Amino acid sequence: MRLATARHTPSGRVVFGAVVDDGLVDLSAAVTDQSELISMVHDPATRPAIDAAVEASARVPLDELTWLPPMPNPRRIMCVGTNYADHVAESDRISAAPDHPVIFTRFPSSLVGHGDDLVRPSASTSFDYEGELGIVIGQTTRHATQADALGAIGGFTCFMDGTLRDWQRHTSQFLPGKSFERSGAMGPWVVTADEIADPHALTLTTRVDGEVMQHASTSQLIHDLTAIIVYCSTFTTLEPGDVIATGTPGGVGYARDPQVWLVPGSRVEVDISGVGVLANTVVDEPTP
Ligand code: MG
């Protein structure tokens, strides 16, 4: 099942539910929010109720929708840094793969949905792309083990961890450079975990204006999905709807010669096999 959130353009109403061929089945009357939805889809005891609601609920035509992040207001958005060897190699900040996952956070307001505009802020011109596999938690999880960690994943999404490199480097703390308003993206939807046979065998490709800039397999993750969930669930309780971006491969803009920065009109696509294609175009921050 593909779970999505969108604004119904004619009415301005936010709808969420399951994407089918010709529309979005609006489940916002059947469940409280997107976190409850992914939790119910993930739990075999409640999945039949959602399947029945999908059959019974109204469909909103896709051409009346503007996509929002599929999980628009998660309790947690965590991101893993330097988690592919070729990205470690191109980094001038570290010389070896970290022993533990590098974890930082993003604010929900830093993300837009598929097709929406990414915003290059007036405070910086070093706007960079990072294509990543995003995982969405499906069940409340604390102290996951090697054996059960993958069972916590409710689904997968495409994630663009857009970064203002100068602001990332002001201090040792990444957050400001990673949380500019509307500087990243997630979507178009969450593909539920039952549809992905092996999440460590997905192909991730990032294109800018049609040119391939990053191309990798999730088999190359240094800290794999199991390790990430074990680590994060040791310090916090992961809850349904929480999002973890799992790291970006080599090929980011700042490490290129010459460097590549996103500018107004740049089109960024994050394409993950079996998950989808997240595409966004950059605009400049409007003058206040
Ligand atoms: Mg990243």
pLDDT over 90 at 166, yes or no: yes
- Are 193 and 52 contained in the same domain? no
C-alpha of residue 178 to centroid of ligand 1, in Å: 8
Looking at the structure, tell me whether residues 82 and 211 fall in a common domain: yes
Q: How far is the centre of ligand 1, averaged over its atoms, from the C-alpha of 80 (Å)?
A: 6
Domain boundary among 68, 85, 117: 68
How confident is the model over 39-62, as pLDDT tens digits?
Answer: 999 999 999 999 999 999 889 999
- Domain holding 167, by residue range, is 77-284
Q: Is 159 in the same domain as 263?
A: yes
What is the whole-number distance in angstroms between the Cα of residue 230 and the centre of ligand 1?
19
Centre of ligand 1 to C-alpha 220, Å, is 15
| Residues 87, 201 within the same domain | yes
44 CA to centre of ligand 1 in angstroms:
32
Residues 177 and 219 in one domain: yes
User: How far, in Å, is the centroid of ligand 1 from the Cα of 14?
Assistant: 28
Report how far ligand 1's centroid is from the alpha carbon of 51 (Å).
34
Query: Which position has the higher pLDDT, 287 or 117?
Result: 117
Cα(247) to ligand 1 centroid in Å equals 5
* Share above pLDDT 90 across residues of the chain, in percent, rounded to a whole number: 92
pLDDT > 70 in the chain, percent: 100
CATH number at residue 266: 3.90.850.10
Task: Examine the domain organization and report whether 199 and 87 are in the same domain.
Answer: yes
Question: What is the structure's pLDDT at 93?
Answer: 79
Three-state SS letters, the chain? CEEEEEEECCCCEEEEEEEECCEEEECCCCCCCHHHHHHHHHCCCCHHHHHHHHHHCCEEEHHHEEEECCCCCCCCEEEEECCEHHHHHHCCCCCCCCCCCEEEECCHHHEECCCCEEEECCCCCCEECCEEEEEEECCCECCCCCCCHHHHEEEEEEEECCEEHHHHCCCCCCHHHHCCCCCEEEEEEEEEHHHCCCHHHCEEEEEECCEEEEEEEHHHECCCHHHHHHHHHHHCCECCCCEEECCCCCCCHHHCCCCCCCCCCCEEEEEECCCEEEEEEEEECCCC
How many distinct structural domains can be found in the chain? 2
162 CA → ligand 1 middle, Å: 8
How many A from CA of 164 to the centre of ligand 1? 11
- 143 and 32, same structural domain? no
